[in-house]
Amino acid sequence: MKIADTGSALREILKNAPAPRVLVPTMGAFHPGHLSLMQRARKIAGPGGTVVVSIFVNPIQFDRAADLDAYPRPMASDLAACETAGVDVVFAPTAESMYFPDRSVTVTETLLSRSLCGAARPGHFDGVCTVVLKLFLLTGCESAVFGEKDFQQLAVIRRMVRDLDVPVEIIPCPTLREADGLAMSSRNTRLIPEQRADAPRIRRALLAAATLGAPTEILAAARAAIETSPLARIDYLTIVDAETLQPVTELLRPAILATAVFYGEVRLIDHAMIAIG
């Protein structure tokens, strides 16, 4: 396994790397969900292709400095996990090597990013689109693997690829969960024991509410189930169209019940599909 810490070093390593090249963009702090993405990438690349994993805590997608500072960075264990998963190349740059001090170009998506995490975290998806496009260009990948846990990110990246004619296939992977239903996330390690024990209520609340009738009923039931806990603070709770991510008031098409919940300073996201008919 080779490691690059600058774009020029990465390009040199990949100069003669065999196709297909499959990228797994990450911010590190790996859990089994990340490993499932790497395993999927390895399967797509096959024994002769090249799997590239980026490990980069992207500063321009954080709206709160405290969240950026607190994000875990266990590089040694992350590299060991990549080795075990059969990754060929790890790209672990510094912010200084990724962004010029006077950078003035940002990639902005203006529709799908308006709601949900985009509304709650101004500038977040500008940072996501910008870094992902840079990673696509630096790696020359034919495909990239993303987890479905952050379904808005997946939708925004797909839209960017479509609208900018980026020749990269976006491959989704299902959300991995703990035995108690909590979606696996690097942020889970920051929960204190009482918060970790309570957090699975998010998934239970969404699944139970998603079976009800009208959107007002669904939202009221989910809110009540989450807010029963004094530890949980809802950032947003909404129903959006499964394709456009626009808010819906009638269930005429498949929709998503989505939430972000704070436990102290830790922000957890999850969602459940609402099937029609």
- Rounded Cα distance between 187 and 138, Å, is 28
- List the catalytic residue out of 31, 34, 124, 271: 34
Cα atoms in the 13 Å half-sphere on the side-chain side of 159: 20
Nearest Cα to Cα of residue 27 among 17, 37, 14, 13:
37
34 part of the active site? yes
Task: For the sheet with 255-263, list strands across it.
Answer: 232-241, 255-263, 266-274
The DSSP output letter for 233 is: E
Coil vs helix vs strand at 82: helix
The DSSP output letter for 89 is: E
- Rounded Cα distance between 159 and 170, Å, is 10
Nearest Cα to Cα of residue 53 among 166, 149, 165, 138:
138
Residues involved in catalysis: 34
